A and B are shown apart, each in its own frame.
Chain A
Amino acid sequence: MSYNIDDLNNLQLDVLREIGNIGAGNAATALAKMLNTKVDMDVPKVKILEFKNVDEILGEAEAPVVGILLNVTGDLTGSIMFILKYKAARVLVNLLMGRPAEFDAEFDELDLSALKEIGNILSGSYLSALSALTNLNIMPSIPDLAIDMAGAILSVPAIEFGKVGDTVLYIETEFSEGNTCVVGDFFLIPDVESYEILLKALGVIS
């Protein structure tokens, strides 16, 4: 029997939401340490969308977004992607680099490196929460980054989800620091073979 996110019930979604919650909590702590400031977060929202609505995830399909992708190996294989709007990425990098929040320019090499590191730390925190909860050994690769149209970046996780179902599951997380608020989405993308391992480890299926 194959498992598929289309069939998840509310209880199962709650489990995923809770992982999102703990993972995002860890991520907010990591972000706070990195920025050396207080970072608040909203309760993450677990969302499931049909493919034809995927481009609504970040507003417009053609708007530029930043995607940071890490491969996952270990007991669980697949990938994890953190995606945020171009402007939000600019704000985060400004915070990290100690620049004024409204500073705006093309990302330079150092900025891109900082963004990868942000993606690395956030995804890493998320994965360690998942690993702690499931007792699964989960190892992320080094991050890779792409900046392009939202639709194009989102096609990467969507295609992977497409191999098993007709929907995309993601976790919307909102971080805020002072008056600045940054919304980012996590896509945990298990390989086809890893769905069962993940759901079993979570106690969702026996």
Chain B
Amino acid sequence: MENCIKVGMADLQSSCHPGVLTTLGLGSCVGIALYDSTTKIIGLAHIMLPSSLQARNNNNIAKFADTAIVKLVEDMLKLGAKREKIVAKLAGGSQMFSFNQSTDIMRIGFRNVVSAKEKLSELKIPVVAEDTGGNYGRTIELFSDNGRLLVKTIGYGVKQI
């Protein structure tokens, strides 16, 4: 695969066409995939926590949904993306362990998704597709040619959103 860039945990990357961005084994973390169909510029963030405002240590902006989205959009604009053409797809935010649903550690996936959507809506970036929730891990690949997002799982099949 040409120009396939891996995005780690608490990491974000963007790419011009042709490019593929991938992040492996999303659990409660959320993969935020951004795409501008006119310039075929893509960006992918792998966030771990909902908000930088609630954290004691918020140096790593790629770790939080709110700060990662802002940085990712900036990076894509630098590559030449058109701000008003950017759309988003979300994947991940699952709950890996089923017990004790009332505590924060268990609902973190859900909160990550909610926070990502709030930030995207604030920036007027439409969420065109999502594959979130559940209790299983996901590997995602974002392709620059048409912005498709491939979601792979163990035992829950492969889909494209």
A interface, CB within 8 angstroms of B = 2, 4, 51-55, 60-62, 64, 67, 69, 71, 79, 141-142, 144-146, 148-156, 158-160, 162-166, 192
Residues of A close to B24: CB separation below 8 A: 55, 60-62, 149, 151
Whether the pair A160, B105 counts as a contact (CB closer than 8 A) is yes
Whether the pair A146, B96 counts as a contact (CB closer than 8 A) is yes
Whether the pair A151, B27 counts as a contact (CB closer than 8 A) is yes
Cβ distance B100 to chain A, nearest Cβ, rounded Å: 6
B interface, CB within 8 angstroms of A = 8-11, 24-29, 48-49, 55-57, 59-60, 63, 94, 96-100, 103, 105, 108, 135-139, 152, 154
If over half of B's interface residues share one DSSP class (helix, strand or loop), that class is named, otherwise mixed; here it is: loop
**Residue from A71, A144, A151, A164 within 8 A of B9 (CB atoms):** A151
Give bound CA distance, A58 to B134, whole Å: 23
If over half of A's interface residues share one DSSP class (helix, strand or loop), that class is named, otherwise mixed; here it is: mixed
Beyond A2-B56, A62-B24, A144-B98, whether A155 also contacts B48 by CB under 8 A is yes
Supply 7 A–B pairs (Cβ within 8 Å), ascending by A: A52-B9, A142-B99, A146-B97, A155-B27, A166-B10, A166-B57, A166-B60
Beyond A62-B139, A146-B96, A148-B136, whether A155 also contacts B26 by CB under 8 A is yes
**Residue from B59, B99, B138 within 8 A of A166 (CB atoms):** B59
Whether the pair B28, A156 counts as a contact (CB closer than 8 A) is yes
**Residue from B25, B49, B59, B103 within 8 A of A152 (CB atoms):** B25
